[in-house]
Structure 1
C-alpha cells in the first residue's frame, strides 16, 4: 500500500510539472516550474558554495543542479503520496505547496511578467487532480471483497490502469514541452544563421606571425560561466535594446540599427572572476561590435551618472563603471565572435564586452537594456552577493605545457603557457624550477595589450621530481603577487605551478 501511495505521489507530481512546463513553453517559455525553482536556488546559494560548484563541476554545474531538483521533487512527491493515502487533505496540501512554490519562484525572477506564475499554478491543480484519482483506486475495493485475492488483483489493476493513463499524459505533456523548446532553439538558430554581418569600419589587424596554436580560442571551446539554467533563445528580428536612466535622450534600438552603425573588430581576452589560479575560464576571440562609448555619448549621460547597468533578457544585471567605458578602451556591444554571429551560449544576438574587466563587471550576455545610474543608487546582481563593484582584471599567468604530473625525458623540455593583464599588457614572464633562479621566458608577439601573451622557455630538465612555477610582470612594472588568494571577492592571485617527473 505504501509503495503504491508513494508511486501515486510521484506520478501526480510528474503530471503536474509536465503540464506546467508545456503551458510555459506555449505561453511564457522562461517561466517553467523547474527553471523558476532552479533560479531561486542559484540566487539563494551562498557564494562559497557557488564557487565550489564552478571549481568542481565547471559547466556541468547546471545539469547537476537540475538533477538535484528532480531528486528532491521525487522524494517530496513520494512523501506527499504516502501522507495523502492516510488523509486526502495532506495530499492536496502537498500539491498546493508544489504549485504555489513554483509560482512564487517564477514570479520572483528579475524578468518575470504577470503570467509567469500561471504554469506552476496550473501544474499544481493537475497534480492535485491526478493524486486524487490515484488515491481513490487504492481505497475503491469494498471491505468484504477486499479480503479475497480476486478483489486485491482487481484493485491493483485499477491502480495500474489509472497510473498508466496519468504516466502517459505526463510523458505526452513533457514531450510536447521538450519539442516546443527545441523548436524555439531551432528558431533562434535560424535567426542566427540568417544574419550576414557587415564588414567592420575599423578592422583588427592580422595576427602577428610566430604565434603558437591556440592563441585564438575557438567558439566551441570558449568557456561559459553564467547563471542561466537554460540558454535564452532570442530572435534577432524582435530583439530591442533600451538605453535609459540618467540620460538626456533615451533610445530604443533594433538589431538592424546596430548593424547599420560603424562596427569595430578587436582581439580581446575575456576571463571570469571565478577563475582559480591556472584555471580554464579565460579565452581570446576576435569580436565584432558597436563602440559603446560612441553610442552612450549620443544619449547624453548625466554628469552625476557613474555606473552603467546592463540587463539581460533573463534579468541578470551587470554593473560597469561608466568612467571605464568612456576612457578610450574598446568597450563594445558585440554582435560577432571569431567571424560569425555570436553563438547562443555566448549571448546571441548581442552581448556587452569591456576590456580589462572581469566578465561579471563588464560582459553582460543576451543584453537587452542599458541603464545609466550610480553605484550609490543600485547594486548589480554580483555586488549584492558580496563581489567587488569594479572588477579590474589582475595580472595572471599559467603553465599549459607540460601538464601537471607529466612524465618527461631528461634533456631540453619546452615549458609554455599564457599570461594576461588586459589594458596594461605583459612586459615579462619568468619561470622557476624548484628553488632555482627565475629564468626569463620568451614572449611571443601580441597584437594589443587587451589580449593574453603566449610565452615559452626551453628548460634543461634533470632526473627527478620538479616543481615549475610561473610569474608575470605587467607593463606598469608590477609583478604578479605570489600569495594564493581565492577568487572571491575580486579575483584570484598567486603563482601557478605544476609538478613533473623527469625520467
Structure 2
C-alpha cells in the first residue's frame, strides 16, 4: 500500500489534532491578552449573538442553567466534524494550512468586533492559525509517496511516527487549558481580590427573616436562596474576570455632569441592604429560575442624582464588561441598587463581582446587569439593549406567578393529610392570595406565610385530605392589585410566561 493516498483515518486525525492545536495555542495566548479573546469563546459568543431567539429559549427550557454546557458540547461536536473535513481536504498539508490560517484570520476579525476589544484581541486567532497551519503541513508533508516498508526504513514518518506526533500535539494542546488557567489566575487573581474585598456596612440592616416568613415545611423553597444555589442565566460564555482595583463605573449620556466612580468613591457613600427576589424572563411556568437574596450596595437613584438626570430621559442603559446591555425605565429605579454584596459576602464572581445592578419588580434581562461598568442615561426611542434588539419587550415587569414545590410531580403518597406548599411572587405588587385546586374541584384558599415585603416572594401552604387515585394539583395567585394569574399558558417570549402550575400525584 502506498502512502501517496493517505488513509482517511490519518487525514481525520491530522485535522482533529491541528484544530486542537489551533484552539490550545489561541487559548494560551488569550491568557495574556484577555480571556474573552480566546478563539473558542469568540466563536461561541458569535454563535450566541446570531442564534435565533426561539432556539436560545428552547435551549434554556431544556437545559436550564446548563445551557452553556450544552452549547460547548454542541460546538465541540461541530468543531470535530469541521476538523475532519479540513483533514480530508488538506492534501499533503498545504491546503489544510491555508484553511487554518484563513480561519485564524476570520476569528481574529470576529474577536475585534467583540465589545471592549482592543487590537491585541486579534493575536490569539492569528497565532493559533499560523501554528496549527504549520503543524498540519509538517505532519502531512513528511509522509512520502512510497510504501510503508520504505517509510519505516527511515525515509519519512512511519505510521508509528505519525501517531506519536499527533498524540504529542494533542497532549500539549490539552495541557494549554490548565496552563492558561494558571497564567490567568496569577495575572488576575480574582480569588485573592474577592477575599480582600471590604463589604460596606449599611447604615441599617435589612429586617430579619423570621420563622413566620420562612416556614419550616420539608421540601418548600427556602425564603433566602444560598449563593451556591442561586440561578445563573446570562450571555457570558466564560465568567468575566474584573478586579475591584480595575473597576470603574462611568455615568454619562443625558446628564449634567459625567461621572466616573471607583470603589474609593463608593465607600464614601451610604450603603444600604435590601432583601429582593429576582426572576429570569426565561422561567417557564413552575420553573426554578427565581431566587431571593440579601443584597448590599448603593442606591442607583443617589448615584444618578449626583450626575443630574435630564428630565427628558426615560431609560438607563447599563453595560457589562463583556458588552451585554440592559435598558431599564428610569421610573422603575426606586429601590434599585448598584449591588456589591450578596447574602453577607462580596458578590460571587458568577453573579457579577465586583458590581452589578439589582432592580426590584423587573425581569433580569432589563434590570440585572452583572459586571456592570457603564450607565448611560438615554431614551427608549434612541437606544436598544441586547435582548430588545432580538425581539423581547423593552419594558418587562415581573408577572404574577405561583409554584408547587411539594409534593413533587408524579409523587406516590399515602392517603390522608398531605401538605401542599410552594412560593408565589408578584414583585412590587405583593401577593394577596394563593388558591389550590384538586382535579376539577372548587378552588381552595391556601395559607400565606407572613409577607416580608412586596418585593419578595411569599411562601404558602394548604392541607389536603388526599383520597386514593391519580390527581392533578393546580395553583394560582392573586396580586395585591386584585389581578389573578391567567390560566392560558404562554411561552417566555417576549415578556415572560403565564399559566397555572400543576403537579400530578398518585395517592395509594
TM-score w.r.t. length of structure 1: 0.94
Q: Which residue of 2 aligns with 1:209?
A: 211
Q: Which residue of 2 aligns with 1:243?
A: 251
* Equivalent in 421, 426, 433 of residue 416 of structure 1: 421
Contact kept? 1:443, 1:455, Cα under 8 Å: yes
Structure 1 residue 256: Cα displacement: 2.9
**What is the CA deviation profile of residues 207-233 of structure 1, one whole-angstrom value per residue up to 9, with x for unaligned ones?**
233221511111111100111111111
Contact kept? 1:418, 1:455, Cα under 8 Å: yes
Question: 1:444-483 alignment to 2 at 5 Å?
Answer: 444-483=449-488
CA 1:231/1:149 → structure 2, altered by over 3 Å: closer, same or farther? closer
Structure 1 residue 145: Cα displacement: 8.5
* Equivalent in 20, 24, 27 of residue 30 of structure 2: 24
Q: Which residue of 2 aligns with 1:177?
A: 180
Equivalent-residue separation in structure 2 for 1:20 and 1:80 (angstroms)? 18
Contact kept? 1:9, 1:78, Cα under 8 Å: yes
Question: 1:24-173 alignment to 2 at 5 Å?
Answer: 24-85=30-91, 88-139=93-144, 143=146, 150=153, 155-173=158-176
Contact kept? 2:316, 2:375, Cα under 8 Å: yes
Contact kept? 2:32, 2:184, Cα under 8 Å: no
Q: Which residue of 1 aligns with 2:356?
A: 351
Structure 1 residue 240: Cα displacement: 0.7
**What is the CA deviation profile of residues 166-209 of structure 1, one whole-angstrom value per residue up to 9, with x for unaligned ones?**
33543443442132245467x11111111231321132111233
Q: Which residue of 2 aligns with 1:430?
A: 435
Secondary structure, aligned partner of 1:381: coil
CA RMSD of aligned residues (A): 1.9
CA 1:496/1:167 → structure 2, altered by over 3 Å: closer, same or farther? closer
Matched positions, count: 496
Question: 1:216-227 alignment to 2 at 5 Å?
Answer: 216-227=224-235
Secondary structure, aligned partner of 2:72: helix
CA 1:26/1:203 → structure 2, altered by over 3 Å: closer, same or farther? same
Equivalent-residue separation in structure 1 for 2:424 and 2:256 (angstroms)? 41
Uncovered stretches (5+) of structure 2, i.e. residues with no partner: 1-5, 217-221
Equivalent-residue separation in structure 1 for 2:505 and 2:203 (angstroms)? 48
Q: Which residue of 2 aligns with 1:233?
A: 241
CA 1:208/1:178 → structure 2, altered by over 3 Å: closer, same or farther? closer
TM-score w.r.t. length of structure 2: 0.94
Q: Which residue of 2 aligns with 1:401?
A: 406
Contact kept? 1:133, 1:162, Cα under 8 Å: no
Contact kept? 1:317, 1:381, Cα under 8 Å: yes
Structure 1 residue 105: Cα displacement: 2.5
Structure 1 residue 491: Cα displacement: 0.3
Equivalent-residue separation in structure 1 for 2:353 and 2:232 (angstroms)? 13
* Equivalent in 175, 196, 199 of residue 197 of structure 1: 199
CA 1:68/1:184 → structure 2, altered by over 3 Å: closer, same or farther? farther
Equivalent-residue separation in structure 2 for 1:165 and 1:449 (angstroms)? 61
Equivalent-residue separation in structure 1 for 2:303 and 2:118 (angstroms)? 29
Q: Which residue of 1 aligns with 2:318?
A: 310
Segment drifting more, 61-70 vs 17-26: 61-70
Q: Which residue of 1 aligns with 2:303?
A: 295
Equivalent-residue separation in structure 1 for 2:406 and 2:187 (angstroms)? 42
Equivalent-residue separation in structure 1 for 2:204 and 2:258 (angstroms)? 27
Match status 1:252 vs 2:260: yes
CA 1:34/1:341 → structure 2, altered by over 3 Å: closer, same or farther? same
**What is the CA deviation profile of residues 319-354 of structure 1, one whole-angstrom value per residue up to 9, with x for unaligned ones?**
1011211xxx31000011111111111111101011
Contact kept? 1:34, 1:102, Cα under 8 Å: no
Contact kept? 1:99, 1:120, Cα under 8 Å: yes
**What is the CA deviation profile of residues 402-441 of structure 1, one whole-angstrom value per residue up to 9, with x for unaligned ones?**
1111111111111111110000001111111111111111
Question: 1:239-388 alignment to 2 at 5 Å?
Answer: 239-325=247-333, 329-388=334-393
Secondary structure, aligned partner of 1:15: helix
Equivalent-residue separation in structure 2 for 1:487 and 1:152 (angstroms)? 64
Secondary structure, aligned partner of 2:309: coil
Equivalent-residue separation in structure 2 for 1:173 and 1:448 (angstroms)? 50
Secondary structure, aligned partner of 2:394: coil
CA 1:306/1:138 → structure 2, altered by over 3 Å: closer, same or farther? same
Contact kept? 2:142, 2:156, Cα under 8 Å: no
Secondary structure, aligned partner of 1:217: coil
Equivalent-residue separation in structure 1 for 2:10 and 2:286 (angstroms)? 52
Contact kept? 1:146, 1:152, Cα under 8 Å: no
Segment drifting more, 160-169 vs 123-132: 160-169
